[in-house]
Amino acid sequence: MKTTLRIKLVVLALAGFTFACGGGDKTAEGTQEASATESAATAEVSLEEKYKDNPIYIKGLEKVKASDCTGCHQVERKIIGPSYADVAAKYENTEENVAMLAQKVIAGGVGVWGEVPMSAHPTLSEEDAKDMVRYILLLKK
Ligand code: HEC
């Protein structure tokens, strides 16, 4: 018995047709930078709020208000004179600095923060000037 083996080899050639697909223009997606207009709305407590219950704050604020300080100084914004917060950031809250700055408030002065002078306050007692300065130096952020 003869067994005939027929081997069929089927070669399938696959012709690859490359379709040049017109993929369309890639619309350049506008790289619109998200405007960084985030107002730093960090729920920050104002210095007034932070220290309002402190007796040094209450006493000093009363005296500062009774004088002319607020005409040239604000708590967190420089106007004619530096902000109290800037003064508090510059000087350590020590008795020496309190005494030194109180003398400056009484005598007036210029040159530490710029060319604009601070008027003298010769009628202020040393005690009152010190209470004012203690209040100012308390206003640290
Ligand atoms: C006519 C505007 C004016 C008035 C009023 C005024 N200041 Fe000033 N103050 C200034 C200026 C300007 C400076 C910066 C002076 C400098 O550069 O040396 C200053 C500086 C200071 C400083 C920092 C001093 C230093 O050497 O760093 C303290 C503290 C201060 N003032 C407290 C007071 C107090 C308290 C009062 C109210 C009794 C007062 N000021 C009233 C304008 C004023």
Domain residue ranges of the chain, discontinuous segments joined by +: 47-138
pLDDT at position 44: 80
Q: Does the beta carbon of 111 lie inside 6 Å of ligand 1?
A: yes
| Close Cβ partners of 87 (under 8 Å, ≥ 6 residues apart) | 101, 136, 137, 139
End-to-end CA separation in angstroms for the chain: 107
Nearest CA to ligand 1 atom 27: 112
CA of 43 to the centre of ligand 1 (A): 30
The 8 Å CB, 24+ separation contacts for 110-113 are 113/81, 113/82, 113/86
Residue identifier of the C-alpha nearest atom 15 of ligand 1 = 110
At residue 20, the pLDDT reads 47
Q: Whose CA is nearest to atom 30 of ligand 1?
A: 105
- 47-138 fold: Cytochrome Bc1 Complex; Chain D, domain 2 (1.10.760)
- pLDDT in single tens digits along all 141 residues of the chain: 555 555 443 333 434 444 444 555 555 454 444 444 445 555 689 999 999 999 999 999 999 999 999 999 999 999 999 999 999 999 999 999 999 999 999 999 999 999 999 999 999 999 999 999 999 999 999
All residues at 6 or more sequence positions from 77 whose CB lies less than 8 Å from its CB, including other chains: 83
136 Cβ below 6 A of ligand 1:
yes
At residue 16, the pLDDT reads 41
What is the model's pLDDT at position 73?
98
Please give the pLDDT value at position 30: 46
| Distance in Å, CA 120 to ligand 1 centroid | 9
Return the structure tokens found at 11.
Answer: 């070669």
Query: CA 75, CA 57: separation in Å to the nearest integer?
Result: 12
